Amino acid sequence: MRIFKFLFTLLLTLGLIWQMSSPLQIGDKSIPPLGKIFNPFSGFWANGESIQQTTFKPMSLPGLSGTVEVVYDDLMVPHIFAQNITDAARVQGYVTAQHRLWQMDITTRKAAGRLSEILGERTLRIDRITRRRGTAFAAENDLIGWQKSPKTMSLLQAYTDGVNAWIDQLSPAEWPIEFKLLNYAPEAWTPLKAALVTEAMAETLCSWEDDVESTNAYAQLGAENFEYLYPEWNPKQQPIIPDTGQWIELHPLLPPPFAASATRALGYSSPEDSPEEYPHDGPILGSNNWALSGSKTQSGKPILCNDPHLNLSLPSIWYQVQIHTNETNAYGVSLPGVPGVVIGFNEQIAWGVTNVSHDVSDWYNIHWTSPERLKYKLDNEERSVQFRYETIRIKGQPDLIDTVRYTVFGPVTYDFDSESPLRNCALRWIAHDIPEHSAFDVFLGLNTGKNYEDYKNAIPGFDSPAQNFIFAANNGDIAIQTQGKYPVRGQQQGRFVQEGDRWANAWHSYIPAALVPSMKNPSRGFVFSANQHSTPPSYPYYYLGNFEDWRSRRIYDRLSRVQNATTADMKSMQLDNFSQRAADALPTMLHLLDRTQLDASGRKMMDELAQWDFRYEANYLAPTVYEIWFDSCYAATWDEITALESGGKTPKTDDLAASKNGKIAMLYPDAWRFVEMLQTDSSSLFFDHPNTPFRETAKDIVLESFKQTQAYFQKNPDKKVAYGISKGFVIKHLGQIDAFSRLDLKMGGHRTAPNAISKTNGPSWRMIVELGDVVRALGVYPGGQSGNPGSPYYDNMVDTWASGNYYELLFLKKPDDSSNRTLGKQVFSPK
């Protein structure tokens, strides 16, 4: 009798323990193990950090050659004082992991195509595409390149060991909360993961292309219309490197004899492609940087500014750090997972980056010689593919082994999707190449650099993602260089999908370092970039890209006009909500709008718009109205293209036929071209609606879209709100957990304004550096140094950033520099 009672109760108890250790499935929601999560000793309660004070435990790290002191300031920025670069890297790895371990894990998982391991089947397609695009392949090639330099590898290994020293001493109670919620354990850091971090940036910044859309547009519209609608050069552009006659004497490398540009129209675009940001307006991820020479500043010394625009997340993509060694005293932002300071300054120089935005991804149509696709035709030969097997682990399911075919051009990415127009195309992407130098060697060169020569020697190793490196020094020098590895192209090569059956179409050579555009100490007194064209068309090499048209013009205007500049002027520029696009388009649209055709409320709306100063301020109503009007005006104009997109003429060749949806990916004209047409060609045939008997002009389109806008707000009065509310700006947690996100902010700014805040993207770091005998800097990013939602340093800088304020960056010379801003010191001793 008694034994039954005992066994029954025991079973109940064990059953309870087992249930509390396992995740629960309720509908489509997965609840983490209740016992693990809710117990106060090792569950989520343990992740709450004290708000009263932080204690810094001394630590001994094997491999250190000397003691390293880390001073933390009131923003939890670590100021690392080490004797040499290797010790500094080791400790940088440790402290970065201390604050951002889960971010480092999820970022590298995404880049490696390993999300399904922890998230299950729902991320399988994303993982497959990532692998097939060759991101992990690119990372492996990075490592091959880096291993050529023992100095690079020892630095990387020291950083890796530092990260692992942190991980090794973690008890499960101390795991970051995301590991607990997703129920998996942190794993060791490796040098390959550092490569994955840099490749993740490359994927973000230099994977852009629109070969399929252009190919289809050319095939559907014909050469004349194509050239009319999609000119490559905007005459109002202010390129990064103007033509000062420096290219006249150049002997550029000859481009290849480029044959057969477009292929047949290719049909439906892969569902992966996010719908083109509509209207087509250049990169939504971009950045600004500029440097003023002493001739334009009040101090007489240069000022350098940089605000990279990226997807905003919590934790932030950046991590502030100061690194002081016998060779360097550098402060700035770093990328978690990679040693060094990426954007910042030291006691002599300052530097920053913006994205160059060149197209360095080309698709090649492979001519298979058999249905099994084992061999393909290349000139007169038959080549065999190389197979790469990607094993994708899926939580709760058996592994998937994906077979990827690699050609001489690159991987065939979409052949598993019979509806993709790219299913027989191989991807040639610059990031796949084995690098000559590592990216962080370049940044190390900048961290330790003292002058222009050091800068010029450091950056040529930087291949991808190509960046506009801006520079300023105490001695007054300013410079900028559009640094990257660029293929030498034939005219228009890379605009369309190319035939992969002839080697002549491949990339054979790259623009030599000496001919990469650069500028030093121009007489105009400033250098700048905002993702616009690197050069005017007179530059001897052809290139193409996703260039910006509005911010750059505004920044150029302000830099030209500014005199006796101070940091206040710089702040005002970084926070400038003025949109050049609105300034160009709105007066034209108002001029074209026939007031006599409007009712009373229409005239009122028109007058209110006419009062607007083209600034996207959060408390203004006009931007909300204008956005709707501009977008519908654009959409009404390009109805022909939309019609071609959804089941217009389909190509004749049946193996490349459009998908069952009948959709064909089409290119839409740039917004600047649209505005130009409104201004100079208002009776263009494109303003006509083909399906009406009447021949419409721009006036009709403007009127029609204005009335549509009125109707929209009549139907949705709750949408007629201040811009800050309608914008819907959010900073999301990296794991898309709303509870850890900031969803409450009402922001102004616009992608076409210098303050390029859009719904989820914006200035991820704002930095202003005043060079001089004592370098002073201001900075802020929308996040916090800690990636722990339970820390008071998780999002403590968000409100400062949102209200347009900055912090004075604490640039210490010695660890014991007295400051009321330091919280404490952490000492690392050699073991």
Partner 1 sequence: MKNTLIASLLIFLLGNLCHLGLPWWGLAIIAALVGFGVRSHAWAMFFAAFLAGFSLWYAAAWMADHDNGGLLSAKVGQLFMGLGGSELMLVSGFLGALLAGLSALSGKFARNMFETKQSPRQRNYLQQRRRR
73 C-beta neighbours (distance < 10 Å), count: 20
Out of 5, 561, 652, 715, name the contact with partner 1 by CB under 8 A.
5
Dist. CA 811–CA 809, nearest whole Å: 6
Q: 36 vs 280, which CB is nearer to partner 1?
A: 36
Per CB under 8 A, 725 contacts partner 1: no
144 C-beta neighbours (distance < 10 Å), count: 11
Dist. CA 407–CA 404, nearest whole Å: 10
The C-alpha angle with vertex 309 and arms to 297 and 336, in degrees rounded to 5, equals: 105
Element (H, E) at 345: strand 343-345
Q: 12 vs 711, which CB is nearer to partner 1?
A: 12
Q: 662 vs 735, which CB is nearer to partner 1?
A: 735
Which stretch, 33-41, 329-337, 370-378, 391-399, contacts partner 1 (CB under 8 A)? 33-41
Count of residues engaged in binding partner 1, rule: CB under 8 A: 42
Whose tokens are 């997109």? That residue is 645
Q: Exposed, middle or buried: residue 315 (CB in 10 Å: 0-12, 13-18, 19+)?
A: buried
Out of 738, 744, 799, 816, name the contact with partner 1 by CB under 8 A.
738
3-state secondary structure of 234: coil
Which stretch, 32-40, 100-108, 640-648, 761-769, contacts partner 1 (CB under 8 A)? 32-40
Out of 452, 740, 806, 828, name the contact with partner 1 by CB under 8 A.
740
Per CB under 8 A, 2 contacts partner 1: yes
Q: 88 vs 797, which CB is nearer to partner 1?
A: 797
* Minimum CB distance to partner 1, residue 396 (Å): 21
* Minimum CB distance to partner 1, residue 45 (Å): 4
Whose tokens are 């109205």? That residue is 625
Q: Please state whether beta strands 732-733 and 313-314 pair in parallel, antiparallel, or not at all (unpaired).
A: parallel
* Minimum CB distance to partner 1, residue 320 (Å): 21
Dist. CA 194–CA 135, nearest whole Å: 13
Which stretch, 30-38, 467-475, 507-515, 667-675, contacts partner 1 (CB under 8 A)? 30-38
DSSP letter (8 states) at residue 310: E
Per CB under 8 A, 40 contacts partner 1: yes
Structure tokens at 564: 């006796």
Q: 21 vs 65, which CB is nearer to partner 1?
A: 21
Which stretch, 36-44, 200-208, 263-271, 415-423, contacts partner 1 (CB under 8 A)? 36-44
* Minimum CB distance to partner 1, residue 696 (Å): 51
Per CB under 8 A, 171 contacts partner 1: yes
The whole-angstrom distance between residue 393's C-alpha and the CA centroid of its chain comes to 27
* Minimum CB distance to partner 1, residue 104 (Å): 21
619 C-beta neighbours (distance < 10 Å), count: 10
Per CB under 8 A, 167 contacts partner 1: no
Structure tokens at 186: 């942190």
Q: 168 vs 273, which CB is nearer to partner 1?
A: 168
Q: Is the peptide bond before 435 cis (omega within 30 degrees of 0)?
A: no
Per CB under 8 A, 35 contacts partner 1: yes
Q: 643 vs 737, which CB is nearer to partner 1?
A: 737
Angle between helices 580-592 and 551-561 (to 10 degrees): 110
DSSP letter (8 states) at residue 805: -
* Minimum CB distance to partner 1, residue 184 (Å): 16
Per CB under 8 A, 430 contacts partner 1: no
Which parts of 300-339 interact with partner 1 (CB under 8 A)?
Answer: none
Dist. CA 622–CA 721, nearest whole Å: 9
Per-position x/- string for 42-61, each x denoting binding to partner 1 as judged by CB under 8 A, each - no binding: xxxxxxxxxxx---------
Per CB under 8 A, 246 contacts partner 1: no
Q: 613 vs 744, which CB is nearer to partner 1?
A: 744
Dist. CA 199–CA 439, nearest whole Å: 11
Structure tokens at 52: 């009263």
Given a contact cutoff of 8 angstroms between Cβ atoms, the answer to whether 801 and 780 are in contact is: yes
Whose tokens are 């228009």? That residue is 492
Greatest extent of the chain over all pairs of C-alpha atoms, in Å: 103
Per CB under 8 A, 74 contacts partner 1: no
Which stretch, 268-276, 485-493, 735-743, 812-820, contacts partner 1 (CB under 8 A)? 735-743
Per CB under 8 A, 12 contacts partner 1: yes
Per CB under 8 A, 3 contacts partner 1: yes
Per CB under 8 A, 519 contacts partner 1: no
Dist. CA 309–CA 434, nearest whole Å: 27
Length of the chain: 831
Per CB under 8 A, 169 contacts partner 1: no
Per CB under 8 A, 41 contacts partner 1: yes
* Minimum CB distance to partner 1, residue 803 (Å): 21
Q: 19 vs 619, which CB is nearer to partner 1?
A: 19
Beta bridge partners of residue 361, listed in sequence order: 429
Pick the closest to residue 431 from 130, 150, 763, 124 (CA basis): 130
Q: Exposed, middle or buried: residue 596 (CB in 10 Å: 0-12, 13-18, 19+)?
A: exposed
Beta bridge partners of residue 383, listed in sequence order: 376
Dist. CA 700–CA 692, nearest whole Å: 12
Per CB under 8 A, 21 contacts partner 1: yes
Q: 50 vs 244, which CB is nearer to partner 1?
A: 50
Pick the closest to residue 817 from 16, 10, 69 (CA basis): 69
Per-position x/- string for 119-158, each x denoting binding to partner 1 as judged by CB under 8 A, each - no binding: ----------------------------------------
Q: What are phi and psi of 467, to 5 degrees?
A: -130, 145
Per CB under 8 A, 19 contacts partner 1: no
Which parts of 789-818 interact with partner 1 (CB under 8 A)?
Answer: 789-792
Q: 600 vs 739, which CB is nearer to partner 1?
A: 739
* Minimum CB distance to partner 1, residue 652 (Å): 55
Per CB under 8 A, 38 contacts partner 1: yes
The whole-angstrom distance between residue 527's C-alpha and the CA centroid of its chain comes to 22
Contact positions vs partner 1 (CB under 8 A): 2-3, 5-6, 9-10, 12-13, 16-17, 20-21, 34-36, 38-52, 171, 173, 177, 181, 737-740, 789-792
